[in-house]
Structure 1
C-alpha cells in the first residue's frame, strides 16, 4: 500500500488534491541494453551522493511527536498499534479504512470544526522523505490548477494547498488544507489540517498540541521506505466514549476517492 492510499467515504471539510494527481515515486531504471547511456549518466566516483536530511521540530525527542523509545511523558492516549494519540473531551475519532480489506490506514481527529488526519509510514533510518513528498503533493495540486505554497511554522516546513472545487449546487470554491510532516527514526508521520485548524489559531493550536503528544511505535520488522503502516482499532470502553457510531454513508470505490475522506467508524471521547 503506497503513500497516497485512498479511503472509503467523502468528508467535505477534510479534503485535498486527488491522489490520482500525485505521481508515484519510483526509481529510474536503465533501459535494457543501453549500457553506454547508463554509464554516461552515472555519477563520477568522486561525486558525493546527496540525501535529504530529516525534517522535524528541533525539540521533537523532548516535546514530540515521540518515538516509542524516547522518554515519553505521561498523558492519556488512545493506542492504535503504531500510533498512540492524545484526546480532548468531546473530540471525535474517525478511523480511515480500506474498503476491500477494512485495514485501518489512518485516523482523523475532529474537534469542533477543526480536523487533523494522521498517517504513519516506514522511512529510511538516515534519510528524510518529507521534502520529496512535499514536492510531489505540490505538483499534484498545481496540475489541478490549484496553489501550493510552503510555509515555515512551529512544526517546520508545511505545505498550504488551495484546490478549486465545484459544489453540488454548481457553485465554485476553494478547499484549503495544510500538510505537515515529521521525519522520525525509521518512520514518517504525516498530518493534514483542515477546517478551522487552517483558519483559526486557537483551533490549530489545540490540534498541534495533540500532534506533539503522539507516540509512534514503528516496530522492528523490515519494511520498504514509504510503505503505509496500518493501524489497529483502539479498545474504546463505554466509560471513555459516547459509543461507536456507524456511518450511514454507502461504501464507495476506494480507487475513486482521495486520501482525506472518512472511514466508517466514529467515536466521541468524553
Structure 2
C-alpha cells in the first residue's frame, strides 16, 4: 500500500525540516541520488524501486537464458509495467522512442494519439487486445517508461494508478557506461527468485512424469 500523490501536500501533524527538504523533489520519479527518506514501501528490483498497489500481484517474464525480461504488476483494473533504460546525458530520448513506438503500434493495427501529461507527451493506443498508455520520463542518464494495459472501460483508473506508481518510483542507474536504450538490469528479491525456481522445478517434474 502506498500514498497517492505524495508531495502534493503535507499532513498537519508532520514536522518537516525545510532546509533539508530543499534539494528533494516533491514527487518522482526520483533518481537514486535524490531519493526521499519516506515510509513508502517499495519493491527493490535493482534498477528500479517501485511501490506495489494494494491488491497488485507480480508477473515476471524470464528469458530462457536466465535474465529477467520484465516485471508486471497485475491489478483489478489492468496491468502496469515500469522499466528503466540507459539514456544520454542530454534529455529528449523519450521523444525519439515514443515516435518509433507510435509508428510500430499503428503498423500493428492500433489507433494511436498523444496527450499532454505531467511528464510531457504520452501515447494512448486502442488495440484489439487492450487499451494502452505509454508514459516516458527522461532522467539523468536514464529513461523510465511506464505502461498501463487493460480493458477500455477501466483505462482511466489504470492510468491514474500508473501515475501514482511513477510518482513514487526510484531509478538506480549505476555508474557503469551502457549503450543508449539498453534496459537497466532487473534483479529479483531472493524470496521471489526462490518462488520462481520452485515453480519451474515443479513444472519440470510434472512434465517428466507424463
TM-score normalized by structure 1? 0.58
Give the length in aligned residue pairs. Answer: 175
2:79 paired residue among 95, 115, 121: 115
Alignment partner of 1:231: what SS? coil
1:178 aligns with 2:133: yes
In structure 2, the CA distance between the partners of 1:115 and 1:137, relative to structure 1 (3 Å rule), is: same
- Greater helix share, structure number: 2
CA distance in 1 between counterparts of 2:102 and 2:155 reads 23
What CA RMSD, in Å, does the superposition of the two structures yield over aligned residues?
2.6
CA distance in 2 between counterparts of 1:197 and 1:64 reads 27
1:207 paired residue among 162, 167, 174: 162
CA distance in 1 between counterparts of 2:152 and 2:170 reads 21
CA distance in 2 between counterparts of 1:176 and 1:98 reads 26
1:81 aligns with 2:36: no
Aligned to 1:188: 143
CA distance in 1 between counterparts of 2:63 and 2:106 reads 27
Equivalent residue runs for 1:2-81 within 5 Å? 61-74=25-38, 75-81=40-46
> Of the two structures, which has the highest relative contact order with CA contacts closer than 8 Å and spacing of 6 or more?
1
TM-score normalized by structure 2? 0.73
The structure number with the bigger radius of gyration is: 1
Alignment partner of 2:72: what SS? strand
**Structure 1: which 5+ residue stretches go unaligned?**
1-59, 165-173, 238-242, 251-270
Aligned to 1:149: 113
